[in-house]
Amino acid sequence: MTDMSILDDALQRTSPEVAQVIRKVLELEMWRINKKRRRILADVQLIVEEVVSLDQLDIDGEERVG
């Protein structure tokens, strides 16, 4: 069984920011299952906002390299 390799393979094939969002939200969900916390959507939204933030975009709306 190679559950993590299935996930790792998929993360390597996608863009770095999508991979980062997935990793962070998975961690949050795992923690939440253990903790049974509410406010999950707000927390997921915060993660996406943090990963995809204004400093990644140039003034003209172009994405920065790196």
Partner 1 sequence: MKLLSLRLENFRQFENQVVLEFAHGPGRNVTVIHGANGSGKTALLNAFTWVLYGQFTDALENPDNLVNRRVLMRSPVGDFVNCAVELVFDHDETKYRLRRTRTVKRTDVPPYWELVGEDEHVLQFAASGGKWETADQADISDILGRVIPEKLLFYFFFDGERIGQLQRPDKREETASATALLTGDEVLALTARHLGDVAKRFEQHLKTIGDAETSALISEKQEIEEEMGSLGEGIQQHLVNIRGFEEGEKAISERLRELAETKHLQEERDMLRAREQDVTEDMRSLRDKVVNLVSEKGYLPLLKPAIDKSLGIIKELYESGKIPSDIKKPFVESLLQRQRCICDRPLTKGEPCYEAVEQWLRLSGMSSIEEKAISRRRDLQKAAREEQNFWQELNDLQSQRERRKTELFRIEERLNEIAETLRHAPQENIRELELALEQNRNALVHEAASKKSKQDKIEELRAKTEEINGEIQRREAISLEQELTKKRIAVCLEAKAVLEDVRELHRDVYRKDLSERINKIFKRMLFKEYTAVLDDDYRLEVQQDASAVPVGASTGENQLLSLAFIAGVIEQAQEVVSRANNMLAPNSSDFPLVMDSPFGQLDYNYRGAVADTLPSLANQVVFLFTEAQSDGVMQSLEKRIGREYVLSYASPKEGVQADYISCRGKTYELVKPARDGHEKTEILEVI
Q: Which residues bind partner 1 (CB under 8 A)?
A: 1-4, 6-7, 10-11, 13-15, 17-18, 21-22, 25-27, 29-30, 33-37, 40-41, 44-45, 48-49, 51-54, 56-57, 59, 61, 63
Spatial CB neighbours of 40, under 8 Å, sequence gap ≥ 6: 28, 29, 32
Helix extents (H) in 1-66 = 3-13, 16-35, 40-51
Nearer to partner 1, 15 or 66 (CB): 15
CB of 56 to partner 1, least distance (A): 8
Amino acid at 8: D
